[in-house]
Amino acid sequence: MSAERETPSTSAEAPRQSAPVLSVPVLSVVVPTFNERENIGAVTARLDAVLGGIPWEVIFVDDDSPDGTARAVRELAAADARVRLVHRVNRRGLASASVEGMLASTAPYVAVMDADLQHDERLLPDMLATLREDALDIVIGSRHVAGGSVGNWDSDRQLASRVATRLSGLVLKADVKDPMSGFFMLRRELIDEVARDLSTIGFKILLDIFVTAKRPLRFKELPYRFRTRAAGESKLDSVVAWQYILMLLDKTLGRYVPIRFIPFAFIGGLGVFVHLAVLWLIFDLSGRDFVVGQTAATLVAMTFNFFLNNMFTFRDRRLRGWGLLRGWVSFTLACSLGAVANVGIATYLFHSTPQDGLWWLLSAVAGILVGAVWNYAVTSVYTWSKPAGGLVR
Ligand code: GDD
Ligand code: MN
């Protein structure tokens, strides 16, 4: 009886009491991918070449790339247990992919690196040693410390990067020379600490981590030279630039107002000028009825606001084709109700406050505010309803 109990069980349910498997990864390298099929073999081979002696794994996080990157990763993984895949569908975004890759890792040290071989993988062993020995939270592969460089960037890209880095000073307190870097390694406790509060909008995950952490992070920057992309093309475009601005807004004013309300209100302000211009044209210049002018101006301003919001405020939920028409109708309806609320509240306040001083102005502003909040609340739910899969670009 007792002998039977001591026999090691081979059934799947019983946990085995044997020694732990020693090849569990100490380092996970998270590699977000979108259309990088041509590069994943090379990345894996290079990791293999530089990480000798360190138990490692690579986690590709692919957003259902049309070029079949995920399939290629699965083929690699079939022959190499160190290769893993997180395959996301109906999602897009470098920052969110990086976070989900890091969360999928159980290793004590986690790095994030691009798939296109622009980041110098030979830095990884140094990053790991520095992270361990100096008891740091995070080590950054940096292009802007002595010995690092951006390589062959054209002047436009250099300027854009400088402007973005300068802007990061609005939210970043630490003296990080390359806060835009997409190449870094951290202790996994750090990601557990910040994961729930990250913005994960767009590309700038490192900056996001620094700003989200509630304490000063212990960090070090190690220099490397940014290489030119191996195969495929860059995904950094105007959308990414806009998402960066949204992220900065989120990190500064996001505590007080929903971030999208800021561009929404700003565009609304522009709409007032459009309205007045059209009214002036029709009523003042062409001498038509005021009602005609006012009606046309309202319609034009609403349409103007609809398209601008579709292009910027709700870029990630952008409506196209027939969706545009449906969206325009619901936007116009919602804003018409908003206008009724605006006038109603302003009129009520106007009649219930003293008839002197600037009370009329205050009443008007209150009406406008209520109208704007209403328009934002309703159109963000009905016109630009959130896609089921989260942030889609
Ligand atoms: N999963 C996923 N989803 N991956 C993405 C997405 C996405 O929506 N967009 C881009 N990627 C992957 C790419 O496949 C690549 O492996 C990596 O993220 C970087 O994308 P690139 O398109 O090559 O970006 P880049 O070279 O222009 O920008 C790099 O440099 C910037 C600093 O100048 C990146 O490292 C940025 O993080 C960095 O800020
Ligand atoms: Mn790149």
Give the pLDDT of residue 19. Answer: 67
Query: In what helix (H) or strand (E) does residue 192 lie, and over which residues does it extend?
Result: helix 188-194
76 backbone dihedrals φ, ψ, rounded to 5° = -60, -45
- The C-alpha atoms of residue 218 and residue 350 are separated, in whole angstroms, by 56
Rg (the chain; Cα; Å): 27
| Structure confidence at residue 247 (pLDDT) | 83
203 lines ligand 1 (CB under 6 A): yes
What mean pLDDT is reported for the chain? 88
Kindly identify the ligand whose nearest atom is closest to the C-alpha of 204.
1
What proportion of the chain, given as a percentage, has pLDDT over 90? Answer: 55
**Which ligand 1 atom lies nearest to the CA of residue 39?**
16
Write the DSSP symbol of residue 317: G
* Buried b or exposed e, range 195-208, using 16+ CB within 10 angstroms: eeebbbbbbbbbbb
The pLDDT, as a whole number, for residue 278 is: 92
Give 198's DSSP letter.
-
- Hey, CA dihedral for 112, 115, 118, 123, is it positive or negative? positive
CA-closest residue to ligand 1 atom 35:
182
**Hey, how many other C-beta atoms are within 10 angstroms of the C-beta on 318?**
17
Residue 4: is its pLDDT beyond 50?
no
Q: Is the CB of 240 under 6 A from ligand 1?
A: no
Which positions ≥6 away from 106 have C-beta within 8 Å? Answer: 24, 25, 28, 188
Residue 15 has which token pair? 């946990």
Whether the per-residue pLDDT at 12 is higher than 70: the answer is no
Distance between Cα 181 and ligand 2 center (Å): 11
Nearest residue (CA) to ligand 1, atom 6: 94
Nearest of 201, 199, 167, 204 to residue 184 by alpha carbon = 204
- Ligand 1 binding pocket includes 93 (Cβ within 6 Å): yes
Encode pLDDT of 101-120 as tens digits.
Answer: 999 999 999 999 999 999 99
Strands in the chain per DSSP E: 27-33, 56-62, 83-87, 109-112, 138-142, 184-187, 219-223
Most confident of 58-62, 196-200, 290-294: 58-62
Alpha-carbon torsion, ordered 137, 139, 140, 142, to 10 deg: 140
Q: Name the residue among 71, 81, 393 with its Cα closest to residue 243.
A: 393
Quote the pLDDT of residue 16: 58
**How many Å lie between the centroid of ligand 2 and the Cα of residue 135?**
30
**What's the one-letter identity of residue 100?**
E
Burial of 130 (C-beta count, 10 Å sphere; 0-12/13-18/19+): middle
Q: How confident is the model at residue 1 (pLDDT cuts 50, 70, 90)?
A: very low
190-208: average pLDDT: 88
What is the rounded distance in angstroms from the CA atom of residue 87 to the CA atom of residue 70?
7
Is the CB–ligand 1 distance for residue 161 below 6 Å?
yes
